[in-house]
Structure 1
Amino acid sequence: MSLLESIAVVLAGLAAGTINTVVGSGTLITFPTLLAFGVPPVTANVSNTVGLVPGSVAGAFGYRSELEGQRGRVLRLLSASVLGGIVGALLLLVLSPGAFEAIVPVLILLGVVLVIVQPRLAARVQARAAARATETGVEKEGDHGWVWPAVFGTGVYGGYFGAAQGVLLMGVLGIGVDQSLQRSNAVKNILAGAVNGVAGVIFIVIADVDWQIVALVGGGAVVGGLLGARIGKRLPPLALRTVIVVVGLVAIASMLLG
């Protein structure tokens, strides 16, 4: 890889780390960049996944204040993400490339729709929960029961490809968890990072990882993760939701047209 190509990969990693921390879909920057420089698709995918792990850690660190009081939730959902990431990574290694990617645009669109309807749908879910509490005299606290399996599903998807995993997670957390988008975004960074991490470990052991790519993408992603936390935390809910929707639609267009 030439010097100019190496610089381009670092910059792509920086952009991906920033976008991943704010919403997700950073893979749609780094993955096409690596393909453009002649890196084989599977090698590009696995090396990119490993390289983005440090950026996820940096982004989670930048959102640490929003994680306060969420230890139980994070640990509970982390198990779903880790298991899903393992399944997704193994699917990448055993299935044909088109077997799973055919439904990726549909999954991303689902995440976008969930984010758009999140305020109204979350209000209805909470209203029904309050009505049940009034009828039974018991108020149920915590996340809705479907959140864990939904997070597991996003983990499977993230372990396989990863692009727009954050969009899907924000759609799930926004509806199933009664808290601000910023606090859910902090949880999203932990969960997405865990998926990349566990998938990365599997790829290191089984797949062909290009460590030069890992170093270049990882170096840029760390800076991008810290930068993304500073940017994302300043966005009001409507602006953050708008960013998520735009990135998700761009991801769908890129995959369909690419």
Structure 2
Amino acid sequence: MSAADLVVAAVVALLAGAVNSVAGGGSLILFPTLVALGLPTVAANVTNSVTQWPSYLGGVAGFRAEYAGQRGRIVRFGVVAAAGGATGSVLLLTTPSDAFDVVVPVLVLLAAVLIAAQPLVARRVREREGGAAGRDPVWLLAALFVATVYGGYFGGALGVILLGVLGIGLHRLTLANALKSALSSVSATVGLVVFGFFGPVDWLVVAVAAPAALVGGFAGARLATRIPTTPLRVAIVLFAVAVSAYLFARV
């Protein structure tokens, strides 16, 4: 990549980090940008995943208070998330890149739908809040595994999926939000290791884009209460639909 391309990648990563903090869906901005800058789709996906990793750590730090008394649950869910993230990451690297080229437009479109449905998911979870709490159901572990396999393979809108699954299973929106960040971090860390050793990561892009994403995530968290999320979410969804159409045309 040229110096100008790296500047573009850094600026978009900064924006993606901020979008992740405010509304979610930042990966849907950075991934197509990397493809447009010339990276093959698989390389763009793994580079995007590694670049986004630092922003998850900030999310975990922000929910520290919510993790009190949840050590056992975090360990159980974390093991499932690690297994799912590893499975998805290995699946991405071992299937033909042509297959990913065919699947990725569908995944981008799915992510757009999930981002659009995010307010409905949060509202449904909030309506169920205060329900009977007890032992975590077996189906919840299975659903978390499937969700994190998706996260390891592609990852767009993974947070929305985890929020819905955890909210339904735990009946507590705040706790679901906190665990969503922790499990996203676990899945992303596993992806970082797998992609770092075996994936076609563009480390030059990561070197300039990852710090920018971290700064953007911090700035977005500070501005989250001042920025209207609905117009931003609409813009992300429309952009993702356009990207999906472009990727469909490339197949």
Question: TM-score by structure 2 length?
Answer: 0.80
- Distance, in Å, in 2 between the alignment partners of 1:154 and 1:251 is 23
- Distance, in Å, in 2 between the alignment partners of 1:246 and 1:145 is 35
- Distance, in Å, in 2 between the alignment partners of 1:251 and 1:188 is 25
- The verdict on how the C-alpha distance between 1:65 and 1:23 changes in structure 2, with shifts beyond 3 A counting, is farther
Match of 2:158 among 150, 156, 165: 165
60-69 or 44-53, larger mean C-alpha shift: 60-69
Letter in 2 for 1:257: A
Letter in 2 for 1:62: G
Q: Which residue of 1 aligns with 2:245?
A: 257
- Identity over the aligned pairs, expressed in percent? 37
- Distance, in Å, in 1 between the alignment partners of 2:31 and 2:152 is 14
Kept after mapping to 2: 8 A contact 1:47/1:211: yes
Q: 2:24 is paired with a residue of what secondary structure?
A: coil
- Distance, in Å, in 1 between the alignment partners of 2:31 and 2:180 is 21
50-59 or 22-31, larger mean C-alpha shift: 22-31
Match of 2:104 among 101, 112, 117: 101
Shift of residue 247, structure 1, vs aligned partner: 7.4
Runs of 5+ unmatched residues, structure 1:
131-139
- Distance, in Å, in 2 between the alignment partners of 1:74 and 1:254 is 37
Calculate the aligned-residue CA RMSD, in Å: 3.1
Q: 1:146 is paired with a residue of what secondary structure?
A: helix
Kept after mapping to 2: 8 A contact 1:174/1:184: yes
Kept after mapping to 2: 8 A contact 1:164/1:248: no
Match of 2:195 among 194, 203, 215: 203
Kept after mapping to 1: 8 A contact 2:25/2:115: no
Q: Which residue of 2 aligns with 1:217?
A: 209
Shift of residue 183, structure 1, vs aligned partner: 3.6
Kept after mapping to 2: 8 A contact 1:48/1:213: no
Match of 1:186 among 160, 178, 182: 178
Shift of residue 92, structure 1, vs aligned partner: 0.8
Q: CA-to-partner distance for each residue in 1:211-248, whole Å, 9 max, x for gaps?
A: 1111122111111222333345x48xxx87x6897477
Runs of 5+ unmatched residues, structure 2:
247-251
- Distance, in Å, in 1 between the alignment partners of 2:74 and 2:112 is 23
- Distance, in Å, in 2 between the alignment partners of 1:244 and 1:189 is 21
Q: Which residue of 2 aligns with 1:74?
A: 74
- The verdict on how the C-alpha distance between 1:16 and 1:110 changes in structure 2, with shifts beyond 3 A counting, is closer
Q: Which residue of 1 aligns with 2:10?
A: 10
- Distance, in Å, in 2 between the alignment partners of 1:114 and 1:17 is 18
Letter in 2 for 1:256: S
Shift of residue 58, structure 1, vs aligned partner: 2.0
Kept after mapping to 1: 8 A contact 2:112/2:240: yes
- The verdict on how the C-alpha distance between 1:7 and 1:124 changes in structure 2, with shifts beyond 3 A counting, is closer
- Distance, in Å, in 2 between the alignment partners of 1:22 and 1:39 is 27
- The verdict on how the C-alpha distance between 1:50 and 1:243 changes in structure 2, with shifts beyond 3 A counting, is same
Q: 2:85 is paired with a residue of what secondary structure?
A: helix
Question: TM-score by structure 1 length?
Answer: 0.78
The structure number with the bigger radius of gyration is 1
Letter in 2 for 1:157: Y
Q: Which residue of 1 aligns with 2:83?
A: 83
**Matching of residue 31 in structure 1 with residue 31 in structure 2:** yes
